[in-house]
Amino acid sequence: MRLDPATLPDYPFTPQRLEVRPGIAMSYLDEGPRDGVVVLMVHGNPSWSYLWRKAVLGLRDRYRVIAPDHVGMGLSDKPGDDRYDYTLGERVADLATLVDALALGDRITLAVHDWGGMIGFGWALRDPARVRRLIVTNTAAFPLPAAKPMPWQLSLGRDLRLGGLLVRGLNAFAIGAANFGSVGRIPDAVRQAFVAPYDSWANRIATLRFMQDIPLSPADRAYALVEEAGRRLPEFADRPAFIGWGLKDFVFDRHFLDGFTRALPRAEVRAYADAGHYVLEDKAAELVPAMRAFLDASPLR
């Protein structure tokens, strides 16, 4: 069953589609003036472009906002393992295909959340000069900090068969994120919108494969790229950067925030003690205007 975006609250958009590889299409939002400065918004797991909806609405009058759904996520196609390799490297390649197909140029503001940080920065490492500003929210672009234990909820899905059954059989990860990713209770219709794309065993493949691809050691296939991103993150310190962070995130907590503030010491930081992983749900009324003010105050030449 294909989800009708017109039925979703606060999502008054017409998604576009691009075939990023033969027979596999990515859905994406392309909102705002065609000649506007580009803001590229990259989500993680188990969310989708719906996560960015309030930011899109708050920026699209002036900025060209691009918000893709990764393959297997949101409104994008959800192929099986026989047709798509659900790895970080493939995600980065898909994002590169989208950016190049849309001819987004070299004046891009990169906005990231959750595993979108690794995907976005993984892409940015290919041609760093194209990324001119950064918006960073509850994410990572480096390996798990030494002082941060791996959350058991992620280990369950990453390493154990039982966790895989819960994620694909009961949609446990998407439902859990919608229920507990915010400090304030997310309205029922919004929670349903977050989980709606993952309505069957087949359509939950990406939420599990994302977890199974989390790199913890050099033996993991995504580790080299994550390590490189962490090593090179300070190269972006000369760009204007905005960090918006929910401190009650049980995964991307202060350990990760500290990693970004060390690498990007000039960044404007808004850290919220009363916000969680979905900081754009808890603090949109403050955060979106702050993002807009940051962009308006650091125009690209």
Q: Is the pLDDT of residue 160 over 80?
A: no
CA 109 to chain centre: 14
Q: Using an 8 Å Cβ cutoff, are 280 and 52 in contact?
A: yes
| pLDDT for the residue 237 | 98
What is the predicted pLDDT for the residue at 111?
A: 98
Q: What pLDDT, on a 0 to 100 scale, did the predictor assign at position 161?
A: 85
pLDDT for res 280: 98
How would you write 150-200 as a 3-class SS string?
A: CCHHHHHHHHCHHHHHHHHHHCHHHHHHHHHCCCCCCCHHHHHHHHCCCCC
Q: Which helix (H) or strand (E) holds 39?
A: strand 38-42
> Does pLDDT of 252 surpass 80?
yes
Confidence (pLDDT) at 149: 87
DSSP 8-state class, residue 7: G
CA distance 267 to 261: 7
Q: Which residues on adjacent β-strands are paired with residue 67?
A: 29
Structural domains of the chain sorted by starting position, each given as residue range(s) with its CATH number in brackets: 5-297 (3.40.50.1820)
To which H or E segment does residue 135 belong? strand 131-139
Residues paired with residue 178 on neighbouring β-strands, in sequence order: none
pLDDT at 181: 95
Output the average pLDDT for the chain. 95
Question: Does residue 1 have a pLDDT over 80?
Answer: no
Residue 44 above 70 pLDDT?
yes
* DSSP H helices in 196-282: 205-212, 223-232, 254-263, 279-282
Q: Give the pLDDT band of residue 158 (cuts 50, 70, 90).
A: confident
Q: What whole-number distance in Å separates Cα of residue 246 and Cα of residue 230?
A: 21
Q: How far apart, in whole angstroms, are the C-alpha atoms of residue 290 and residue 74?
A: 27
Neighbours of 289 (CB within 10 A): 11
Q: Residue written as tokens 């962009």?
A: 295
Residue 46 confidence class, pLDDT cut points 50, 70, 90:
very high
Q: How many CB atoms lie within 10 A of CB 254?
A: 15
Residue 23 near residue 100, CB atoms below 8 Å:
no
pLDDT value at residue 155: 81
Judge contact between 291 and 267, C-beta under 8 A. no
What sign for the dihedral angle of Cα 120, 123, 126, 128? negative
Instruction: Give the full edge-to-edge strand order of the sheet including 16-21.
Output: 16-21, 24-31, 64-68, 38-42, 108-114, 131-139, 241-246, 268-272
What does the alpha-carbon distance between residue 10 and residue 54 come to, in Å, rounded to a whole number?
Answer: 7
Res 283 pLDDT > 60: yes
Is-contact 102 38, C-beta < 8 A? no
Average pLDDT over residues 54-60: 98
Give the closest residue to 88 by CA, choosing from 122, 126, 51. 122
Owner of token pair 């509850």: 138
What is the pLDDT at residue 37? 97
| Identity of the amino acid at 13 | F
- Against a cut of 0.85, is the pTM above it? yes
**Portion of the chain with pLDDT greater than 90, in percent:** 90
Phi, psi (rounded to 5 degrees) for 286 = -95, -40
Q: Is 90 exceeded by the pLDDT of residue 151? A: no
Q: Quick check: 150 pLDDT over 90? A: no
If you ran DSSP here, which 8-state letter would residue 269 be given? E
Whether omega before 79 lies within 30 degrees of 0, making that bond cis, reads no
- 63-113: per-residue pLDDT in tens? 999 999 999 999 999 999 999 999 999 999 999 999 999 999 999 999 999
